[in-house]
Structure 1
Amino acid sequence: MPAELTDILGDLVSVNHRLTRVAARAARGTESPAVWRTLSVLLSTGPIRLGDLADLSRVSQPTMTKLVGNLADRGWIKRQSDPADARVSRTVITPAGEAALVAWRTELAAALLPYFADLPASDVDTLERAVAILRDRVAATEQLDAPQHLGAPKRTVATGQVAR
């Protein structure tokens, strides 16, 4: 891989983290980022075991257990039995959880709009193309890295559409 691409990808990750923080601060969000990350993972994976959810969300299993309990109490997720093993449960996002996630993303976008409203159309087109490239690459990577027992079709995080 060319060093230039390595540098660009490193900058992309760094800027993405900074942009997320700017957006959350501008939207005056009070929820933990772990809430939105967990709901995003559930939206993209479909039903998933708690350990896999913790792994994908990059938190410990005890932390995820507490987070899942809080989100279930809010009605944003639910647990369902695993059809392959009745002793195991899987976590799934509910319509209320999807609505909360969509509302949060809309709020973030609206909070960022003043920072980007003056972009020329060509830069907006570039951002749109970059998002499409990243969405495709991330979806392909998630498909390769998915635990074999998940089984559910993946949905794209941004649109909720089933990824093929």
Structure 2
Amino acid sequence: MNRQDVIPSLVLSGYALGRIAAQDAGNDAPAAQWRVLNLLEQTGRKRVGELASAARTTQPGMTRLIGHLERDGLVRRSPLPEDSRAIAVDITDAGTAALAAWRSEFRDTLAPRFADVDDDDWSILTRAAEILAAHTTNDSTGAPR
């Protein structure tokens, strides 16, 4: 594989793994739900507009998603002290628990697909995961580096 093709291949493989895990686990929650909960867990409280931008969706679409997540007790909305007109969203303890359960479910669902991976390849995958994490960690504004 050419060097220029590696990153797109990793991204597409990641999407495929997520799709496969959701289908195999019978998890019908929208992928956007998990992305938003993960972002909130990683970066903390965000305005709806910031979440929409980070998720590459519209603000009305994000507002609807946040409404569903709030009804399920996974997030809470609260006014920002510095701007009483602005609303911020934060993950709840239930949201953190749901996210942890989702990660476990996906890990356990995908594990059989990787049962034949030897120790050398696990080391390579582990290093690749570390590199990807280092290059996708959000800065203090929530924008990807």
Give the TM-score normalised by structure 1: 0.82
Q: C-alpha distance in 2, partners of 1:20/1:31?
A: 12
Q: Which residue of 1 aligns with 2:28?
A: 30
Per-residue CA deviation, residues 18-59 of structure 1 (Å, 9 max, x unaligned), is 111111111111111111111112112210000110111111
Q: 3-state SS of the aligned residue for 1:119?
A: coil
The superposition leaves residues 124-160 of structure 1 with CA deviations (integer Å, 9 ceiling, x where unpaired) of 1111111111111111xx217636xxxxxxxxxxxxx
Counterpart for residue 52 of structure 1: 50
1:82-93 matches, within 5 Å, as 82-93=80-91
Runs of 4+ in 1 over 6 A off after TM superposition: none
Hey, what does 1:117 align to over in structure 2?
115
Q: Distance in 2 between matches of 1:145 and 1:89?
A: 16
Secondary structure of the 2:17 match is helix
- SS state of the match for residue 62, structure 1? helix
Runs of 5+ unmatched residues, structure 2: none
The answer for the alignment partner of 2:142 in structure 1 is 146
Alpha-carbon separation, structure 1, partners of 2:29 and 2:70: 15
Structure 2 Cα separation of the partners of residues 136 and 76 of structure 1: 27
What's 1:64 paired with?
Answer: 62
Are the equivalent residues in 1 in contact too, given 2:41–2:96 (CA < 8 A)? yes
The one-letter code sitting in structure 1 at the alignment partner of 2:104 is T
Unaligned runs of 5+ in 1: 148-164
Normalised by the size of structure 2, how large is the TM-score?
0.92
Aligned to 1:158: none
Q: Which has the higher contact order (CA 8 A, sep 6+)?
A: 1
Decide whether the 8 Å contact of 2:54 with 2:142 is kept in 1. no
Percent of pairs identical after alignment? 38
How many pairs does the alignment contain?
143
CA distance in 1, matches of 2:116, 2:81: 51
3-state SS of 1:143 partner: coil
